[in-house]
Chain A
Amino acid sequence: DAGVIQSPRHEVTEMGQEVTLRCKPISGHNSLFWYRQTMMRGLELLIYFNNNVPIDDSGMPEDRFSAKMPNASFSTLKIQPSEPRDSAVYFCASSLAQGNQPQHFGDGTRLSIL
């Protein structure tokens, strides 16, 4: 079975540019999570969706960040404009939305903003 698929794996761009990260959850999973990992702040939940609907976006740092889930098999996390402090590894995870089901992580996108 294919796991959570993220693209790109690596992204290097200059500050001020728009960055779009993509995620395809595991087929059949209806909860999707976006995390950011840095040495300073660890693993932080940015936003999560249940059945394509954003449930909690309290972790989104500021208005420069936005996330969408137009259908059950695709989600995007967008940063516009990007800043050097956004440099981090961004993980997407998915799970079944029933009871306490484990979250399965993708391989992440390593983002560097110059």
Chain B
Amino acid sequence: GENVEQHPSTLSVQEGDSAVIKCTYSDSASNYFPWYKQELGKRPQLIIDIRSNVGEKKDQRIAVTLNKTAKHFSLHITETQPEDSAVYFCAAGFGNEKLTFGTGTRLTIIP
């Protein structure tokens, strides 16, 4: 089955700086890679996703890159703000079928 590794487990960045979270996956058949943000006590919320026919996708301050050859994908948050503080999860698989989640990255934005 699919195995997803996520790094780092914790990340602290100064407000206004960029944050990068990286994930690797094992199953070359996976073709859908979403990122979720989870605030304390809340549900995971989709913030961006990328499909295997696309190498990069951007939505305002958030971007995701995908390297299918190396089987890794990354989340980039620019101009970080205090409200970006949360736990971020990557996942790999098939959107309407099985997704395997990474172990999460706790991002703290330092004012």
Contacts and interface: CB of A to CB of B under 8 A. Distances in A.
Interface residues of B, number: 23
A56 B2 CA distance: 14
Interface of B: 31-32, 34, 36, 42-46, 49, 51, 89, 94-104
Given A42-B101, A45-B100, A97-B96, A108 B43 contact: yes
A35 B102 CA distance: 14
Contacts, number: 57
Contact of A99 (B34, B42, B89, B95): B95
29 contacts: A42-B104, A43-B44, A45-B98, A45-B99, A48-B97, A48-B98, A50-B97, A55-B97, A56-B97, A91-B43, A91-B44, A96-B96, A99-B95, A99-B96, A100-B49, A100-B51, A100-B96, A101-B95, A102-B34, A102-B46, A102-B95, A103-B34, A103-B46, A104-B46, A105-B36, A105-B43, A105-B45, A107-B42, A108-B43
